A and B are shown apart, each in its own frame.
Chain A
């Protein structure tokens, strides 16, 4: 209810965004895609060992196979993936490594995704595993899980370089009087990829409330986004959805694979303190990032409540501390979990739980 009110108000008082792109939406944009409001959620109790964090690849393989088949209605994994991709595609896999090496898009999952793409005839050199920052990406060692030839690239190398971004595709907005008012889209997205797969984690986020499909695809595909936070204020409420709905990102992002083997219930998006890491042992499949993120939001909120942490909806200035703190009863920013509903209002997916159809599968 609180989120609904926040999102409605945000529509009226959103910052003055100027979206500059030469790309038109495709006839059937990837978000929300062919399955709006549909989520396949799988749980496997033995998918990850909580002590060693070792992934059970057999359980993972079954989760992914049944997840994709259930989503598409196809009988075989190959046919399920074939609903989205063919041999001519150039595919970007947007991983999330902001919490690496402790939490990230699980390399075994990324490896299975790549295996399914190559099974369709997509050449390894037409597959890109990408993230914005090199130090985070290289700490994961995805190269150990994928065939030779797959590209593993950090867009912003070194940090601050704009060369990996498209100067002609950007969102311009002045949040706090910053000099540089543009956030440019990753150049690979505009110039190279034909399709994108989004593989986020289930994490608490100090500014956005939670980070999932929307935050990973939005802030992970644009430059100069940290400027959206200052003091206690963050503009994630409206910025995430605005970025995610910018073409061609919206049209090309065709598949959402939520990696919830590990999770972070506090201190996210980072995971320096293992106390706040937990193990949902879940995966979610869909094309609707809003529906998946709503489920994630409820899950993280419930976990925080169980742990005695502040609600992600808490907006009290009494709980704000500008210094980074790992106290679960302290906020760095006034969090904006309403960004998920806001994205729904932009047409990126279904937020209303009554219209979200979840297929739960226990492995």
Chain B
């Protein structure tokens, strides 16, 4: 087993040399296909860590990610700006180094996160699980101290609108929040996969979309819709340096494009 230091190699990440002690251990990022009859959908189960990182962006993180999961862990940490170290095996070292090479090619772009939802985080397990579900449904949120009027929806578990009883079924609660936003107003939509999780950063003129594929299979023909009209779409796709978006449509206040073949990670830079 090898211990690999991601953050030290990437300018976007911390260069801390601290070891596992004192770091928050994250789940192995992956997807499990199983029926979830309790939920309104039959979505596969995804072990993703973005919500944990967003909750404590200042923390140090540790992954024990074997084999192909090492590449995905590196990408996940990068996408969320985490100070992370990744422990992996010999197979994972190759995956990690390939991913690292790809991450180095992505130009730095300092943009703030974009969201429809503000989550007032009380630190509870219930709020954590809600954020987890929101992430997995690509319902974009930021953590706020108090309701932010510029966001479409603000959620505090235990409020009149979102009583604690609602938190008992986080999937249903996420659906309720989705309905309140309305799909047409969502800043970002994904079509063609239930195992890709997105993060959106942006300002008035530019945006960056991070896409993480939690399965170990390529997603073919992934369609992305971003609110806002962006004439330029530049794709960086892990494993395919010549990749480009296809079938782009810019109209009606939105930008759509297809990623023909998506491996573990893709970044799309959008500009007006």
Residues of A within 8 A of B (CB): 158, 160-165, 167-168, 174, 176-182, 223, 230
Contact = CB atoms under 8 A, between A and B. Distances in A.
Given A163-B260, A167-B258, A179 B190 contact: yes
Interface residues of B, number: 24
B194 A162 contact: no
B40 A162 contact: no
Nearest to A174: B183
Interface in B42-91: 42-43
A179 B40 contact: no
Closest 10 CB pairs of A and B: A162-B221, A161-B220, A177-B40, A163-B221, A162-B192, A167-B247, A177-B175, A182-B191, A178-B41, A163-B220
Contacts of A160: 192-193, 219-220
B191 A180 contact: yes
B253 to A, nearest CB: 15
B247 A162 contact: no
B41 A176 contact: yes
In terms of DSSP, what is the predominant structure of the interface of chain A? loop
Given A167-B256, A174-B183, A179-B137, A162 B190 contact: no
A180 B221 contact: no
Given A177-B40, A179-B190, A182-B191, A158 B220 contact: yes
Contacts of B137: 179
Nearest to A322: B37
B238 to A, nearest CB: 19
Contacts of A176: 40-41
A167 B223 contact: yes
B227 interface: no
Contacts of B40: 176-178
B63 to A, nearest CB: 26
8 contacts: A176-B41, A177-B41, A177-B175, A178-B41, A180-B193, A180-B194, A181-B183, A230-B42
Interface string B197-232: 000000000000000000000011111000000000
B138 interface: yes
A165 B178 CA distance: 27
Nearest to B257: A167
A134 to B, nearest CB: 13
Contacts of A162: 191-192, 220-223, 258
A345 to B, nearest CB: 27
A169 to B, nearest CB: 11
B144 interface: no
Contacts of B191: 162, 180-182
Contact of A168 (B41, B42, B220, B247): B247
A180 B190 contact: yes
A161 B220 CA distance: 5
B260 A179 contact: no
A167 B42 CA distance: 23
A230 B38 CA distance: 12
Interface in B221-272: 221-223, 247, 249, 256, 258, 260
